[in-house]
Amino acid sequence: MNPDYLSCKQQSHESMEKAIHFLKDEFNRLKAGRASIVMVEDITFEAYGQITTIKQSAALSIPDPHQVLIEPWDKSLLKDMEKGIHNTGMDFSVLNDGKALRINIPALTEQRKKDLVKYAKGIAEDSKVVIRNVRRDINQKLKDISKEISEDDLRKETDLVQKDTDNYIKVIDEAMKNKEKDIMEV
């Protein structure tokens, strides 16, 4: 088999795995009605003229199931952090007491649950698009080397690529089904 194709095939598996990893990370951020550090740790804000994340600038904790506590190491960053949180577009209620930020996670309304499910479906669909694009790229690579391999080998490899794609799509669908169930239960 062509070494370029084998390298491309390995890269395609890695790309598909990254798409699944991204999906799971994003789904972890969607904690329906429960506080989680993951919800806020990667929120960015400007500090000292540079963009940084909350987890790089503060201690994060969960004092109760409906609250995230952010205690910056430099209290002068409180307003910048608060601004970064508001810029996310998430409906977080932020209380700045001058020492820390408290984010209250409200109970979800039926409409908010539906919105979260819709958002999750968008993430899942984006992940499927990545998987399909990887399939397209590897199939193009197969087409490029088709003169070097037999038709049977070409068909076999194309079928394997499709099987991998179907398996990854199935993983995405299952993750989406579980996330929807998780969101709607709360």
Which of 71, 88, 104 corresponds to the end of one domain?
104
pTM of the predicted protein model:
0.68
Which of 104, 133, 158 corresponds to the end of one domain?
104
| Domain CATH for 86 | 3.30.1360.40
| Domain CATH for 161 | 1.10.132.20
Is residue 23 within 8 Å of 127, Cβ to Cβ? yes
Average pLDDT, the chain: 86
Question: DSSP 3-state assignment of 33?
Answer: coil
Please state, in angstroms and as integers, the Cα–Cα distance from residue 126 to each residue in 7, 61, 133, 140, 153, following that order.
25, 31, 11, 21, 31
Are 113 and 179 in the same domain?
A: yes
Are 127 and 179 in the same domain?
A: yes
Which of 104, 119, 148 corresponds to the end of one domain?
104
Domain extent for 113: 3-29+109-185
Higher-confidence residue: 130 or 141? 130
Confidence category of residue 33, pLDDT binned at 50, 70, 90:
low
Q: How many domains are there within the chain?
A: 2
Least confident span in 66-75, 131-140, 157-166, 177-186 = 177-186
Please state, in angstroms and as integers, the Cα–Cα distance from residue 171 to each residue in 19, 23, 33, 96, 131, following that order.
11, 10, 25, 41, 11
How far apart CA 106 and CA 92 sit, in angstroms, is: 8
What DSSP line would sit under 45-59, residue for residue? EEETTEEEEGGGTEE
Higher-confidence residue: 45 or 89? 45
Are 123 and 90 in the same domain?
A: no
Are 152 and 121 in the same domain?
A: yes
β-pairing, 101-104 vs 50-53, is unpaired
pLDDT digit string (tens) for 58-85? 999 999 888 899 999 999 999 999 999 8
Confidence category of residue 163, pLDDT binned at 50, 70, 90:
very high
Are 128 and 99 in the same domain?
A: no
- What pLDDT is attached to residue 150? 79
pLDDT digit string (tens) for 108-134? 788 878 888 888 999 999 999 999 999
Question: Which residue intervals of the chain are DSSP H helices?
Answer: 3-29, 78-86, 110-144, 151-185
pLDDT of 6 above 80: no
pLDDT > 90 fraction of the chain, expressed in percent and rounded: 42
- What pLDDT is attached to residue 1? 59
Higher-confidence residue: 157 or 170? 170
